[in-house]
Structure formats: structure tokens, C-alpha cells
Amino acid sequence: MTIWNTAVDKTGHLMDDMFTIALQTYKRPGQLNKTLEHLTAYKTSSLYEIVVAWNDNTTQPPNDFVGKNHVPVRFRVSEENSLNQKFLPDPKYMTQGVLLSDDDWNFNHTDIDWVFQQWRRSGMNRLTGPFARCWYNNEHDEAMYSLCSGKPDKYHMALTGLAFTHLSFLEYYWSNDPLMEKLRNYVDSKFNCEDIALNYVAILGQDIFR
């Protein structure tokens, strides 16, 4: 678990009372503009920065700017259009908490600040978000996924379209651990399954990250 320890140690000095929003976009400037306008329209006391993973490397991203509530918005050009890019541990991140988001969620700013504080109190060693999924094996022993209906207090994974994670999970996800390299390659080959991959990382980190 040396790589895990390194990931945790690398992020321990960062702010833990604020969070960064990391969202990923690809050739949807209209939708992205609407989302950024919404995110910067209201004051979210714990929000430090918004970082946009710009996956269209054939088009120049907009210039970085500061929203009217003084929240910086920074664009990072991805090397490729990969679902892994949202999980990239940006070396400029200043917070331990990262809210992973798709580019089309217009959530209530007071709700998200409340969730952040609850996540901090719970220990920050788990993925926390509003979109849960359950899984089970059917009669053919095939994995099936559901919305966890009828099981309000139980779920197996949180979708990364909107979820808080600790930066150390992203550091480990992008480490040179052969297992993590296989995970990233699989996500790229399927252009899918990134939710399962990061939830797996979170499970691995339950014991080492305290």
C-alpha cells in the first residue's frame, strides 16, 4: 500500500474546509456556458475553484475567468477525449475535497454546500453523491444494475456524474500502480465504466485512508 500512503501524504497539507468542482466537457459549449453561469450566479461559501477538463483538444477553450461571486473558473485542456480526464489530479488543486460533476448539472448551491459539510464530518474516506446504484447477479450470474428502489438506506456505488471524492483517491487512480493502469485502460477501451472504477478505488482506500 506504499502508493496509497504516498497519495494520502501528498494531499494532506491542502485545504480541507473548501472544495473544488471538477467537471468534464466535450463539444457542448452552450450547455457548459449555462452550467457555469448557474454555478457562479450564487455564493457558495465552501467553493474554492471550478476546473473544467476541456476534452476537445482541437478547439481552444475559453479564457479563464473569475465569476461574479469571486469564484475562479479555470480551463484545463485534456491530452485526449477520455472519461479518465475528470479524475486527473490537477497539480494546481488547492483542496482535498473535489466535487466531480458532469457539465449539465444545475444543482442548488446551498444543498451542495450542506452535502460537503456532511461529507467532511463522515471522514472524507468515501464517495458521496445523490445518484446511487445497486447491483445483483441475475439467474444467468450476470451483473445487473438498478436504481436501488425500495432500499433507501442501502446502495453499492455512487455515480461520479455528481459526487464528492478525496483528492487522494484521484492521485491513486492516476498512479503507476499496474492495477490502476489496467483500470484506466479499460475505461478508455469501453468509453464507459468510470463510475465502477472510481468506486473500486474508494473501497480500496477505506482502510488506508483515515
Q: Could you write out the three-class secondary structure of 94-123?
A: CEEEEEEECCCCCCCHHHHHHHHHHHHHCC
State the catalytic residue, choosing from 16, 56, 195, 207.
Answer: 195
Contacting residues for 8 by C-beta, under 8 A, at least 6 apart: 168, 208, 209
Q: What gap in Å lies between CA 138 and CA 59, rounded to an integer?
A: 45
Q: What gap in Å lies between CA 196 and CA 45, rounded to an integer?
A: 31
Q: What gap in Å lies between CA 206 and CA 8, rounded to an integer?
A: 12
Question: Which sign does the torsion angle of CA 62, 66, 71, 76 carry?
Answer: positive
Take residue 27 and report the three cell numbers written for it: 463539444
Q: Is 104 a catalytic residue?
A: no
Take residue 30 and report the three cell numbers written for it: 452552450
- CA-based radius of gyration for the chain: 17
Q: Which residues are catalytic?
A: 195
